[in-house]
Amino acid sequence: MVKDSLMTSFGSKGQSPAKPLPPSPIPAASSARLRQASPLQPPLFHSSTPRLVLSISPLPRSPSPPHPPSPRGRPPSPRMDSSSSSPSPSAAAAPAADAGRYTFSPKLRWQPEVEEYFAAAYGRDRFARISEALAHPSRYSCIRVNTLKSSTDAVMHKLMDLVCENGLSDGINGVEIVEQNGGDQPHEQSSLVQKCPYAGLENVLFVQGSGPHVLNYNSQPNQSVKEVIVSRKCAESVLRGAQVFVPGVLACSSHVEKGDKVAVSVAVEQPVKDGGWAVGITRGTVLQGLQSDVHYEERKGLYIGQGTAAMSRSGIFRVLHGIAVEMTERVYKLPSFNDVLEGEIFLQNLPSVVAACVLDPQPGERILDMCAAPGGKTTAIGILMRDKGEVVALDRSHNKVMDILKLASEMDLNCIKAYKLDALKSVRKTEEATIVEMVNSHCEAIKTLAEDSGPCHVTVDGTATNVNEESSTTTVVQSVDEQNPEPKRYVSKAELRKNLRRMKNGPGRNNCSGGRVEKSKGFFPNSFDRVLLDAPCSALGLRPRLFAGEETLESLKTHAKYQRRMFDQAVKLVSPGVL
C-alpha cells in the first residue's frame, strides 16, 4: 500500500461525500482550478454539520509525496551528481579509488511478489522511478505553526535566523516560489523559508533544503576513515535533518574519541538463508576499516554524511540516550528542529495538516481522533477549534498516549483528552443488549413459577425489572454510573505479592514513560460531531524509505481488512446530522 492518503468526508444523512483531496500540491499555474475544486475552500470551512474524515491507503497509488511549489511544478531529480546540486564549500569530489564506495546511491529492496505486483500495476519503468524517489528524502521540511502561541510571520523570521545561524544556507540556491495575495496577481520571491501558497493553509511553512551533495570522506589519505554504522530507521531520520542519537548506533570504529570526525553509513537489511531479511550486525561491533569488516561491501553507496563524535566509542555503547554524532556535512542538507521553538511549531507532513483542515472542526464541538499518536493531527484540530470544545484522542499504547498528552501540554492545549483504547473497540456496547439476555435467561429458568405468581420480577445490579409473561421481547435500559465504587473483592496472597514486587521494581515495560493514563471502555454511538480516522497502513509512501522487504502481498491485504473494520467503528460514532 502506498501512503498517498485518500481523504473522504461524510456529513449528515443524505449528504453526498466531498470530493477527494488531491494527493499533492499543484503548480501555481493551476491555482484557479484549486480554488474551484479544493475541499479547503468555503463553504466547507464554515459548515456546522457533523463530519467524518477517513484517511486510508488505497492500493496502488503513486507514493510520491508533495513538494513545495516551483515554477516548473515538479521537484528536481534526486540523482546523485554534481549537476543536481552544488556541493557545499567544504565538500569536494571523493578520491577516485573510493568514489563508488563513499556515495549515497541506495537501491530499494522489495519482496519479489510485491515488486511484481507493483511493476504490473505501474509499469516497470515507472515503478523503478518511484522506487528511486522513495529512497531519497524530499528537499523541504513542512512546519505547522501553533497560531495560539505565535503568528506565522513571527515564526518565519525566527526560522530564517535559525537557518542562517546554522549555516544551512550554504549550497542552497534561492528558490522562486509563487505566493498568492487575496486573489491578486502572484509575485516571485527568493527565500529559504516559504509560506504555503494555498488557501486554508496559512499556518504552514516550508523550509527549503538541498542535495544530494558530494562529500569528501577521506580528507587524510594516509589514515583510514573512522566510521559509525547506524540503523536504517536512524538513517532515515538523519536524511530528514535529525542528529545521530545513541539508540540508533550499531557499530563504531575502534579508538573513536569525543571530537573525532566520523563517516556515517547505514546498515540495511540483507537477505538470509531462510528466505527472510536481517541486518546481521550486533550492537557494539568494532570496525577496523578493513574489507573483513561486517557488511563492508553491502555498505557501499550507503553513506549519508559525516559528523563529529559527541562522545567516545565506550560512551556511545554505555549510555542509553543522547546525541552520539553531531552531523556537520550531509548528503541532503535539511535543518534539525530538535528542541527548536518548542510549543510554537510542529514538524508534520503536509497531507496530515490537510486532513485536519478538511475535517473542518468548529469551536465547541466534540471531535474524535481514533488513531491519534503521536498527536500531530490531534493538536492541529485543537488549534483550529481555538482550544474551545473537546478533542478525544485514542491509542492502544500507554507510551503513545503519554506522548499525545505531552505534546498537548507543550502547545498549551487544554481541550485534548487522551485515552488508552484499541480503535477497534471504540464503540461501546450498550448495556441494553446484555441485560435483556440476562433477563430472558432468568425468566426461562422460572417460567413455571411465573405462570402461577404473575409478572416476573428480576433484579439486575440493583435495577428492578418487570417482565410480562405474555411479552415476546423484553427491553431493559440500565443507566451506567461510572462513578459508583466497585464492590469489595477478595485479594489473594499471590496478588498481594505481585503488587509488592511491582512497587519494588517500578513500572513495567509498557509503562516505562512514567505517569498514568486513563483507560476508556469505548463511546456510545452517535456521540461525536466529527471523527478523524487515519487508519494504520503499510506506510510504503513515506520518504525516505531505504527498505521495503518486510511487506508481503498478504500483509498488504491485511491492512485493507483492518482499515475496513476501523471504518465501521468510525461511522457508528459520528453524529447523524444533529447540530
pTM confidence score: 0.67
- Binding residue positions for S-adenosyl-L-methionine: 371-377, 395, 422, 534
pLDDT at position 482, please? 44
The residues, ordered by sequence, that sit 6+ positions from 482 with a Cβ below 8 Å of its Cβ are none
Counting Cα atoms < 13 Å in the Cβ hemisphere of 202 gives 14
Q: Which CATH number fits domain 227-330: 3.40.50.720, 3.20.20.80, 2.60.40.10, 2.30.130.10?
A: 2.30.130.10
Cα(487)–Cα(317) distance, integer angstroms: 51
Cα(281)–Cα(481) distance, integer angstroms: 55
What value does the CA radius of gyration of the chain take, rounded to a whole number of Å? 28
pLDDT at position 323, please? 94
Encode pLDDT of 244-272 as tens digits: 999 999 999 989 999 999 999 999 998 88
Grid coordinates in use for 201? 493553509
Which residues in the chain show pLDDT less than 70?
1-99, 166-190, 219-222, 430-491, 500-515, 578-579
Point out which residues pair with 51 in neighbouring strands. Answer: 530
Counting Cα atoms < 13 Å in the Cβ hemisphere of 496 gives 5
Pairing of strands 6-10, 51-56: antiparallel
Q: Is the peptide bond before 374 cis (omega within 30 degrees of 0)?
A: yes
Cα(468)–Cα(455) distance, integer angstroms: 5
- Binding residue positions: 371-377, 395, 422, 534
| Helix (H), strand (E) at residue 564 | helix 553-573
Would you tell me how many other CB atoms lie within 10 Å of the CB of residue 128? 13
Grid coordinates in use for 368? 474524535
pLDDT at position 202, please? 92
Cα(270)–Cα(444) distance, integer angstroms: 64
Our CA angle for 368, 369, 375, nearest 5°, is: 135
Encode pLDDT of 157-195 as tens digits: 888 887 777 655 544 443 333 333 333 333 333 478 999
Contact 5, 356 (CB under 8 A): no
Residue 487 DSSP class: P
Cα(79)–Cα(252) distance, integer angstroms: 28
The rounded percent of the chain whose pLDDT value lies above 70 is: 64
Axis-axis angle for helices 376-384, 398-410 (nearest 10): 40
pLDDT at position 507, please? 52
Phi, psi torsion values for 471, nearest 5 degrees: -80, 135
Cα torsion 434, 436, 441, 442 to 10°: value is 110
Cα(476)–Cα(569) distance, integer angstroms: 24
| Helix (H), strand (E) at residue 115 | helix 112-122
Axis-axis angle for helices 112-122, 124-134 (nearest 10): 120
What is the residue extent of each domain of the chain? 227-330, 431-467
Encode pLDDT of 364-381 as tens digits: 999 999 999 999 999 999
Determine the residue type at 376.
Answer: G
Helices (H) and strands (E) in the chain, counts: 13, 24
Sign of CA dihedral 460, 464, 470, 476: negative
Point out which residues pair with 94 in neighbouring strands. Answer: none
- 3-state DSSP assignment of residue 303: strand
